[in-house]
Amino acid sequence: MLLTVLVADPQRMAELRDGLPLPGRVLRYSSSNLPSVFESIRANQPGLIVLDAGFLNTQAGQGFVERVGQLNVPKIVMQAAVFDRGHWTMTSLTKEPAPAVATTSDRLTAGLDTRRVPRFVAQSVAQAVADGSSIQVVDLSVLGAQVISQPMLRPNQKLRVGLPDESGTLQLAASVAWSVFEKPAKAAEPHFRAGMEFNDAVREALEDYCRRHCSAGALSIRR
């Protein structure tokens, strides 16, 4: 079972507990008691650490991120909890401090919208898989894809991806570039939205695949 550690200001802990659904078993800690947080991370090795964006914008928050990185805990993912349009959401955490407010469009375009090639909306890509688990392909290019997955996808995670085709399955090696945990109001279950990069993709094969399984027009690039 996934273990999640939540670190937040005491005054915002109740808001996060009620407004932000978190995966797996959750351990909640005040940002005023960081020594206990570090001991818990060492002892329990959680798969996910969620940090209140307000805390991240402080010197203590930035120092916390650096110190966690020095713990060398395997397969750990750190994300920021932000208040977005009246709702708490999670967004990928980089080495830079997370903004206190981030829009959904900003989060989802932060990865593949810095793209080098045209990207197309997937229209007839059913039963795609990543490491044996079903994924939903949102859009696709010859270099990568945006997908939705129920199993957790971690940044830098290596994957074997299978894209279904009439003549068989197109097999690709990929790595996760970014990942965001989401709980849409109309969705039955939470999921992870992720951007992945193909490592050994054959450009010609993917160009042909996009022509047959994606929209005719490329998505506009966000300036």
| Residue range 105-154, pLDDT digits in tens | 333 333 434 445 788 899 888 889 999 999 999 999 888 999 999 888 88
Q: What 3-state DSSP class applies to 72?
A: coil
What one-letter code names the amino acid at 35? P
Per residue in 45-56, pLDDT (tens digit) is 888 899 988 888
Structural domains in the chain? Answer: 3-109 (3.40.50), 120-213 (2.40.10.220)
Give 185 or 203, the one with higher predicted confidence: 203
Give 182 or 148, the one with higher predicted confidence: 148
- Residue entry with tokens 């020095």: 70
CA dist 109 to 139, 201, 213, 220, Å?
Answer: 12, 22, 22, 11
Mean pLDDT of the chain: 80
Tell me, what's the pLDDT at 189? 79
- Burial environment of residue 115 by CB neighbours within 10 A (0 to 12, 13 to 18, 19 or more): middle
Query: Of 31-45, 50-64, 72-86, 207-221, where does the model show the most confidence?
Result: 31-45
Rounded average pLDDT over 94-106: 37
190 confidence band (pLDDT: 50, 70, 90)? confident
